[in-house]
Amino acid sequence: MPQLMHQSNLARPDVPGTDIKGHRGPLQYRCGYCSKIALKLSFCSGCNVVRYCSKDHQILHRPQHNSACIKTKKRRTKLAKKEELFRNATPNFTTSANASASNIRHSWALLSVLSTRDDTIAKLDLAETIRSLHTLDGVQEALAHLRDILRLCRGNNVGVQDLIAPIMLQLDLDQECCNFVKWYETEGQRSNYHGGNMNLPCLDANSANALESIDYMDQTSGSVYSISTIMLLKLKLLVDV
């Protein structure tokens, strides 16, 4: 199966081989301007997700990158402020004392939605922004934020599960992708999972079999994203075999 397109750069006639938008191949550490693959690349200090092989290429890429860089920086600042408030929140009806990703516990789904709403939106905004840059660093960080959202807000009122599995597949995390889809379409759909029983493990996915039937998905409620992701995964494995 062909690797997913990596579209970090718009077509530039001055760079050989870029007569299409972006370059072909898996996500790797590449220069944001010339797409050179290398391990030793310097980060853009503004967004921290785009890398460059030289200062000259960073300068040349600045007109194209400037808008996304500024947006990313603003959203990082916003998220930092929201997380600071979240960690130091005054206990009340909707918020736990010293709430954090490691100790947040709510007795029912509404509390999870209300107390994490601002933090969730800020994480999602940043994740979508850095993911749209189509760099390995950006996609990896976006996945981390999305998984954190699902852990903090079990009600999943922003639908992040539909983004997580495809991103795992994009990052070649095939087994994790398979595990996640099966977990969400089985344990994640239990009526008491979203808040009735907060002792149920979150994102507890054991080794699923990518070659097994997908009968575990309810035909009336199975996510089209989950179904299509598993289909692509099976096709990918078939080509590999």
Q: What is the DSSP string of 82-117?
A: HHHHHHTPPP-SS--TT--TTT---SSHHHHHHHHH
Going by C-alpha positions, the residue among 78, 172, 177 that lies closest to residue 129 is 78
Residue 32 near residue 61, CB atoms below 8 Å: yes
Measured CA angle at 177 (ends 207, 229), to 5 deg: 130
DSSP string for 76-88: HHHHHHHHHHHHT
pTM: 0.77
Instruction: Provide the token pair at 80.
Output: 């930092």
What is the radius of gyration, based on Cα positions, of the chain?
20
Q: Supply the pLDDT for residue 1.
A: 32
Q: What are the boundaries of each domain within the chain? A: 66-240
- Report strand pairing: 51-52 vs 42-43: antiparallel
Reading the chain (241 residues) residue by residue, the pLDDT tens digits are 333 333 333 333 334 333 334 445 678 999 999 999 988 899 999 999 999 999 999 999 999 999 999 999 999 999 998 888 777 766 655 555 555 544 444 433 334 444 567 778 889 999 999 999 999 999 999 999 998 887 776 655 567 888 899 999 999 999 899 888 888 888 776 665 555 455 555 566 677 888 888 887 765 556 788 888 999 999 988 887 7
Structure-token match 């970090």, residue found: 8
